[in-house]
A and B are shown apart, each in its own frame.
Chain A
């Protein structure tokens, strides 16, 4: 028999696969709408009642549903277990199965897998990073028709911003969030000759303080390098026009303020004010901040808990200030939402549960639970809940308490920022990759802005064309 080697025949085999593959994929049926809302792009079995024009009658909420959250177990177990028990007692015959996933990047992967296979949980906690994708694919229930008037309970600008479904349908209920704040190490401030009780109030002061810390050459660092999380917020605070008003194009490429941000960061990096390896370090800077030689800490008050747990000494010298929002502008809202999957077979119960957990009453109870257990600093988005926020102890010197006071103020003034939905996934990567290259000096700042804008607009155009 003629000798042929294995790899060669594997190549032949691969070609055979190509010809065979025609029969492997099934044809998807074209999406034709049966009533009010269009069918999802993936070929799911959607109960017709979820797409018609009639509201859902939630008085008959029985049966069983699954409720999936992100990163809440371990912190809020008692709260949700109690909430579910209470709800089940009020609705005899109803059963809520709560599942939770760790809050890492794989959450999005899981969400995509489930969504692509029409098997999302009935009620889902959707982060702002995936709400656009799920809405565009028509995978989320339209609250406007299924539960009209629900929107009135939420902060108007936030509610208005999530008209991301077909024909401007609202597909998600604002749930909870943590306003950006400034946290800083008072000792590092002092060592650099800065007033430990005056955190920067504007982005200009922020960069100024960073330069002072770098110039003092005390061996301390000023700013953490991975800005993935709050880049958008800082640019907004500097007045950068991220997108045009109808969110069809990114427009920051020739923005002087964006250029200034990159130039400042590059200068600070050059000076050694930014730990060199932090550019692509952990998303949250708490691990680096815990070392005690970094001036600015996490922008999210809830992360103060991990500072407390991992290095109590640093926690004690942590100062808290408001986010660097300019005068006359409102803080940015970026939060978590509650949606109902359009494939749910128990719409009445799913909607009833979604309404329940996103209600003012429940949001407030949850926030208060965070205060009582001193575990988190989260805020509601329902008007009534915001009006009734528990008055924080303004005399406390505990950083968590101080953060709570400042964040409460921000929470009542916050407004939605549509670009937040669009700067996600590949678009965010395009932005951050280019910006990072400019910070470390591999790219000219303007070249980085141009490259990022062009790549981001290509991706966005493709999304909008579909």
Chain B
């Protein structure tokens, strides 16, 4: 009762982002377009090259930005010569596992890290922050041994295990829970609700926006990861998308059109994921808000 009133009060007054009209709107579009060109311009040449016909110059003199002859030959080669569909599938499995584990672990951990009243939370927090500093290169030999000892060498769970929770996600969720007004918790405590009840019914609904950020960044991290899957997998059955693209650069010369077609194929699923979560993401932001 009290808590519900408090939450709804919090929502009022910042129901959404602002709106822009008239000249300011036109100016906004101009600026956005310029930024868009700066951000996407660099990608134009490589992405266009994927649509060139075999033999057409890809780089340097004589190479044109727009293909002289539009061709899907590179994509045909990509899909016939490699198991690209399986690679995408493997990546999606790893990404799915990662998103789920990151969401669960970061909310549970972030919540408790944000609560006062217990000893050792400072140390726990410092441990989490410190672990972000190490470069992967320095821990990979040890990590490899650990995952192999668990019997997960050359398996998709083996790829997932070490990155099931990024320390960054813990920090993000902790900050989100910290941002929730103390009145909310005080009221809940007076209600006599248990810890789990408070967490599940009162706190969690308020951090939807942060959850979407965690989910999205976890997905991207898992999708983009290269070195770890490379080390921990062996058979082509467990090859992820990023490894698949790298494999297109063979020891016997590289057909860059096919490599770039692969890069586009890798971009599309993630762009789709972003486009759809984008909607929920900003909706989530407005409902729950990313709290600090």
Residues of A within 8 A of B (CB): 6, 9-10, 13-14, 66, 68, 70-75, 77, 97, 99-104, 106, 109-110, 112-113, 116-117, 119, 121, 284, 286-288, 290-293, 302-314, 375-376
The answer to whether residues A104 and B246 also contact, given A13-B130, A302-B253, A310-B255 and a CB cut-off of 8 A, is yes
- Determine the distance from Cα of A6 to Cα of B63 in the docked complex, in whole angstroms: 54
B231→A110 contact, CB < 8 A:
yes
- Determine the distance from Cα of A9 to Cα of B122 in the docked complex, in whole angstroms: 9
The 3 closest A-B pairs by CB, nearest first: A291-B60, A71-B251, A306-B253
Seed contacts A9-B123, A290-B58, A291-B60; 13 additional CB < 8 Å A-B pairs: A6-B129, A9-B122, A99-B236, A106-B227, A116-B141, A291-B59, A292-B60, A292-B61, A293-B60, A303-B252, A306-B253, A306-B254, A310-B255
B249→A103 contact, CB < 8 A:
yes
The chain B residue sitting closest to A298, CB to CB, is B253
The answer to whether residues A66 and B62 also contact, given A73-B247, A302-B252, A306-B253 and a CB cut-off of 8 A, is no
Partner of A119, one of B130, B148, B230: B148
Partner of B253, one of A109, A121, A286: A286
A14→B62 contact, CB < 8 A:
no
User: Shortest Cβ distance from A334 into chain B, in angstroms?
Assistant: 13
Which residues of B lie under 8 Å from residue A292 when comparing CB positions?
Answer: 57, 60-62
Which residues of B lie under 8 Å from residue A68 when comparing CB positions?
Answer: 234
- Determine the distance from Cα of A97 to Cα of B237 in the docked complex, in whole angstroms: 11
User: Shortest Cβ distance from A226 into chain B, in angstroms?
Assistant: 16
B248→A74 contact, CB < 8 A:
yes
Q: Is B38 an interface residue (CB 8 A)?
A: no
- Determine the distance from Cα of A288 to Cα of B61 in the docked complex, in whole angstroms: 10
Which residues of A lie under 8 Å from residue B127 when comparing CB positions?
Answer: 13
The answer to whether residues A309 and B234 also contact, given A74-B248, A106-B227, A113-B140 and a CB cut-off of 8 A, is no
Sample of 28 A–B contacts (CB below 8 Å) = A6-B126, A6-B129, A10-B126, A13-B123, A66-B235, A68-B234, A71-B251, A72-B250, A73-B236, A74-B248, A75-B252, A101-B230, A102-B243, A102-B246, A102-B249, A104-B249, A110-B231, A293-B60, A302-B253, A304-B253, A305-B252, A306-B253, A306-B254, A309-B54, A311-B58, A312-B55, A313-B55, A313-B62
The chain B residue sitting closest to A294, CB to CB, is B60
Which residues of B lie under 8 Å from residue A288 when comparing CB positions?
Answer: 60
Using a CB-CB cutoff of 8 Å, which residues 131-174 of chain B contact chain A?
140-141, 144-145, 148, 153
Q: Is B274 an interface residue (CB 8 A)?
A: no
Which residues of B lie under 8 Å from residue A101 when comparing CB positions?
Answer: 230, 247
The chain B residue sitting closest to A76, CB to CB, is B252
Residue picked from B56, B246, B250, B256, most chain A C-beta under 10 Å: B250
Which residues of A lie under 8 Å from residue B254 when comparing CB positions?
Answer: 306
The chain A residue sitting closest to B81, CB to CB, is A74
User: Shortest Cβ distance from A373 into chain B, in angstroms?
Assistant: 11
The answer to whether residues A99 and B234 also contact, given A14-B130, A290-B57, A293-B61 and a CB cut-off of 8 A, is yes
- Determine the distance from Cα of A89 to Cα of B135 in the docked complex, in whole angstroms: 47
User: Shortest Cβ distance from A101 into chain B, in angstroms?
Assistant: 7
A376→B252 contact, CB < 8 A:
yes
Which residues of A lie under 8 Å from residue B60 when comparing CB positions?
Answer: 287-288, 290-293
How big is chain B's contact interface, by range?
A: 35 or more
B62→A106 contact, CB < 8 A:
no
User: Shortest Cβ distance from B40 into chain A, in angstroms?
Assistant: 23
The answer to whether residues A103 and B251 also contact, given A290-B57, A310-B57 and a CB cut-off of 8 A, is yes
Which residues of A lie under 8 Å from residue B126 when comparing CB positions?
Answer: 6, 9-10, 13
Which residues of B lie under 8 Å from residue A314 when comparing CB positions?
Answer: 57
Using a CB-CB cutoff of 8 Å, which residues 40-82 of chain B contact chain A?
54-63, 81-82
- Determine the distance from Cα of A109 to Cα of B250 in the docked complex, in whole angstroms: 17
Which residues of B lie under 8 Å from residue A309 when comparing CB positions?
Answer: 54-55, 253, 255, 257
The chain A residue sitting closest to B236, CB to CB, is A99
- Determine the distance from Cα of A302 to Cα of B55 in the docked complex, in whole angstroms: 17
User: Shortest Cβ distance from B241 into chain A, in angstroms?
Assistant: 13
Q: Is B221 an interface residue (CB 8 A)?
A: no
- Determine the distance from Cα of A100 to Cα of B63 in the docked complex, in whole angstroms: 32
0 or 1 for each of B251-267: is its CB under 8 Å from A? (1 = yes): 11111110000000000
- Determine the distance from Cα of A289 to Cα of B24 in the docked complex, in whole angstroms: 50
Q: Is B125 an interface residue (CB 8 A)?
A: yes
A10→B249 contact, CB < 8 A:
no
- Determine the distance from Cα of A101 to Cα of B253 in the docked complex, in whole angstroms: 14
User: Shortest Cβ distance from B137 into chain A, in angstroms?
Assistant: 9
- Determine the distance from Cα of A289 to Cα of B234 in the docked complex, in whole angstroms: 34
The chain B residue sitting closest to A70, CB to CB, is B251
The chain B residue sitting closest to A315, CB to CB, is B55
0 or 1 for each of B91-111: is its CB under 8 Å from A? (1 = yes): 000000000000000000000
Which residues of A lie under 8 Å from residue B144 when comparing CB positions?
Answer: 113, 117
User: Shortest Cβ distance from B38 into chain A, in angstroms?
Assistant: 23
- Determine the distance from Cα of A313 to Cα of B247 in the docked complex, in whole angstroms: 27
The chain A residue sitting closest to B244, CB to CB, is A102
A72→B145 contact, CB < 8 A:
no
User: Shortest Cβ distance from A109 into chain B, in angstroms?
Assistant: 7
A113→B122 contact, CB < 8 A:
no
User: Shortest Cβ distance from B238 into chain A, in angstroms?
Assistant: 10
Which residues of B lie under 8 Å from residue A103 when comparing CB positions?
Answer: 249-251
- Determine the distance from Cα of A113 to Cα of B122 in the docked complex, in whole angstroms: 35
The chain B residue sitting closest to A312, CB to CB, is B55
- Determine the distance from Cα of A312 to Cα of B59 in the docked complex, in whole angstroms: 13
The chain A residue sitting closest to B249, CB to CB, is A102
Which residues of B lie under 8 Å from residue A291 when comparing CB positions?
Answer: 57, 59-63
Which residues of A lie under 8 Å from residue B148 when comparing CB positions?
Answer: 117, 119
A74→B250 contact, CB < 8 A:
yes
Which residues of B lie under 8 Å from residue A112 when comparing CB positions?
Answer: 141
Which residues of B lie under 8 Å from residue A286 when comparing CB positions?
Answer: 253
The answer to whether residues A310 and B256 also contact, given A73-B250, A113-B144 and a CB cut-off of 8 A, is yes
- Determine the distance from Cα of A311 to Cα of B52 in the docked complex, in whole angstroms: 11
The answer to whether residues A110 and B230 also contact, given A100-B236, A101-B247, A290-B57 and a CB cut-off of 8 A, is yes
Which residues of B lie under 8 Å from residue A71 when comparing CB positions?
Answer: 250-252
The chain A residue sitting closest to B58, CB to CB, is A310
- Determine the distance from Cα of A13 to Cα of B127 in the docked complex, in whole angstroms: 8
User: Shortest Cβ distance from B86 into chain A, in angstroms?
Assistant: 13
B247→A102 contact, CB < 8 A:
yes
Partner of A310, one of B59, B236, B243, B246: B59
User: Shortest Cβ distance from B121 into chain A, in angstroms?
Assistant: 12
Which residues of B lie under 8 Å from residue A70 when comparing CB positions?
Answer: 251
Which residues of B lie under 8 Å from residue A10 when comparing CB positions?
Answer: 126, 129-130
A99→B235 contact, CB < 8 A:
yes
Partner of B231, one of A113, A308, A375: A113
